Amino acid sequence: MIGIIAISHGPYAKSLIQSVEMVYGKQEKLQAICLGQDESLESLQIKINDAVRALNLKKILIIVDLLGGTPYNATSMQLSNPNINVITGLNMPMLLHILPHRNKSLEEVSEIAIMSGKNGIINVSKKFKSLNEAKGKI
C-alpha cells in the first residue's frame, strides 16, 4: 500500500480528507499536515518527517496544495528518497481516484493523481450546453 500525506496552507488538507472519508469511509495510511500561519519551513519539515515515519510504509506520495509554496519547499527535501514522490495541485477528485489504486506502483498512483486532478476541473456550463446540443442533433 502507498501512504499518502496531504499538505496545505491552513486547514484545507484536513478538511479535504474529512470530505473524502464521507465518500469512502475512514482511510488507513492517509494523513493531513496543515501549515499554520506563523509556522516555519523547519517546523513543517519536522512534521513531514514525523508523518513519513508514522506511516511506516515503503512508498509514500506527498501531495501539496501549491507549487512554490512552503509545503512544496518543505517536501522538496524528501525527493532524495526514491520511495517518496511529491506532486502539487491537491484536490478532491485527485484523492478520490487514487485511494482505490494504492496497491499499484508509486509512479502509477502519481500519474492517476495528476490525471484525476486535471480531469476534475470542468466548465459545467459548457459541458451542459454541449450535451444539450448533442441531444438536439440525435
Q: What is the dihedral of CA 103, 24, 12, 126, to 10 degrees?
A: 100
What cell numbers appear for 55 in the block?
Answer: 506511516
CA separation for the pair 36, 67 (Å, rounded): 17
Q: Which of 2, 5, 6, 9 is catalytic?
A: 9
| Nearest CA among 87, 84, 55, 60 for reference residue 72 | 87
Cβ atoms 75, 64 nearer than 8 A: yes
H/E segment holding residue 82: none
Q: Catalytic residue at 9?
A: yes
Give catalytic residues, as residue numbers. Answer: 9
